[in-house]
Structure 1
Amino acid sequence: MGKYQARVAGEVIAARATGRSVAGAQSAVRGAADGHRGNPQVTFTDPEVASAGMTERRAREAGLDVATVENDMAALAGTYVMRDDYLGRAKLVIDRGSDTVVGATFVGSGVADLVHSATTAIVARVPLSVLWHVVPSYPTASEVWLRLLETYRTQSYA
């Protein structure tokens, strides 16, 4: 995040130093502020805890109409391949109004690698209808995305 913020600051400084319009740089600053919406974080413990975006509580406090969906990551073929005794959970916070992911949390071994896809989905505001067609590698832990979306679809149609 620090590197990202430094790039944005660099754009503003370079624009001002060369007398160029800072309009593009200001757009980057606005984008940076928006980027905090999907701010990724990882706690490298055993198990790891990785998240991006808002928690369910923060989303509700922000006035969003949210739904949540969770999955047991131990039930995935990809995590079984990683280790026989895998333990982990995944949770998405979905804004029903925009039909987008606004938050994601993963707990388990190796989940740090899952947070980038969550950050991408959140910052880019990728609709669930598009995420449905993003096929995860198999067998990997990223299969959790498919399981979460399947569960959400099942809950939505129930």
Structure 2
Amino acid sequence: MNPASPSSFQRAGCILILGVVTAACAQEPAKPFDAQVSVVEVAPGGRALTLHASGIQQSDGTICTVVEQAEAIESPTGVTVRVSLRPACPESSELQLGTGVDHAVPVALKKPLAKRKVFSRTGQEIQVCPTTAGSFIETIRRCKEKPR
């Protein structure tokens, strides 16, 4: 049996430290969450929708959410939409509450939207606005002028 040498203790110490550091850094990734879809834009032809989902940003303007998944489930009478966002900033970040960021998420329909209504996963009807030339703000302004 060989006595333990100082170098074997150093190696063991390094392996132990490496294991602790690796465990500390291996945080579970942030879980996606369902975002609120406030407005849906429908392009001419009715098969391309843009879902506007509310994300989160830091006080310095850094966007702290990324789109994980978007879906549109069609039925003969309606379309149910969902956008999942994943947090992308460290939890210790200074988030600016009440000033979210808009994620414009495109989804395609198999059939034109036509007279069908759009709903959230919880069954709430979502306002649908025809896309206009220009900005999203102009689209919303024109949409709000028209009765539902």
Query: TM above 0.5, one fold?
Result: no
Q: State the structure with more CA Rg.
A: 2
Higher relative contact order (CA 8 A, sep 6+): 2
Richer in strand (by share): 2
Give the alignment's TM-score, normalised by structure 1: 0.28
Richer in helix (by share): 1
Give the alignment's TM-score, normalised by structure 2: 0.29
